[in-house]
Amino acid sequence: MKFSCDTRFAFLVLFLFASQSVAVYAGSFHKDVQIHWGDGRGKIRDRDGKLLSLSLDKSSGSGFQSHQEFLYGRAEVQMKLVPGNSAGTVTTFYLKSPGTTWDEIDFEFLGNISGHPYTLHTNVYTKGSGDKEQQFHLWFDPTVNFHTYCITWNPQRIIFTVDGIPIREFKNSESIGVPFPKNQPMRLYASLWEAEHWATRGGLEKTDWSKAPFTAFYRNYNVEGCVWANGKSSCPANSPWFTQKLDKRGEDRVKWAQSKYMVYNYCTDKRRFPRGVPAVCT
């Protein structure tokens, strides 16, 4: 692939911005999470609890969840995805509440056959209703190195960022009737599982189990949030994420990511919404 001078300059600016924006992490997989399924397929790889792997084979996938629940917060981790032929696999990092009318905020990485890009799938559920998908092909290969993925959730908006670059902002539009997750505390989850019936080209590409086990890596996990306990939440003092919003530079980066790398947007899917796309799309 060839890039013009302007394109190379844009990548340099974005790289410098991302380098300045990636935080120093303090979390530990040992103290902050529980590997709650997978029968040994999830493993903490180091003494300090900075590196964790999840694996998938034909018998089972694996996953972990945070010990604490949060009502608003900032959740960040670095991930290196399954390399090679990852068709049919789904690697995730997301927030979710329990129950049948749950809230959820998703990063899901849909695998692909060798030589074809991963699809980054984002979605927001409120009271069990989602249908707010936006999908991207990333501007890098997420299987070669670790990259940073972050969800910022505050009372006014949800911001999805990749390597410090915002790719989506879902604003609180309750004033005009659009539900927003604000009442249900959520845990942080991550998983690697099989979904060959839909994950890759709508299920046309199946999982090649001869390549198993499939393994994804997580490191430098960190969540800062309003911890939910005994029916109420407690927020860290003066946390910038609680009032965070995008400035003009941030809005321009969202436009850049969506204009160049978005491959699906529910806001423009007239076939799916024949009576009209949602009135407010973010």
**Residues belonging to the active site:** 104, 108
Q: According to DSSP H, which parts of the chain are helical?
A: 5-21, 29-32, 248-261
Contact 35, 62 (CB under 8 A): yes
| Residue 48 DSSP label | T
Consecutive H or E run containing 120: strand 119-125
Three-state SS at 214 = strand
Could you tell me how far CA 230 lies from the centroid of its own chain?
28
Token couple for 15: 């790289």
Q: Any idea of the CA torsion for 182, 187, 188, 190, to the nearest 10 degrees? A: -120
- Phi then psi for residue 258, to 5 deg, are -75, -35
User: How far is the C-alpha of 177 from the C-alpha of 145, rounded, in Å?
Assistant: 41
Contact 237, 105 (CB under 8 A): no
User: How far is the C-alpha of 275 from the C-alpha of 47, rounded, in Å?
Assistant: 55
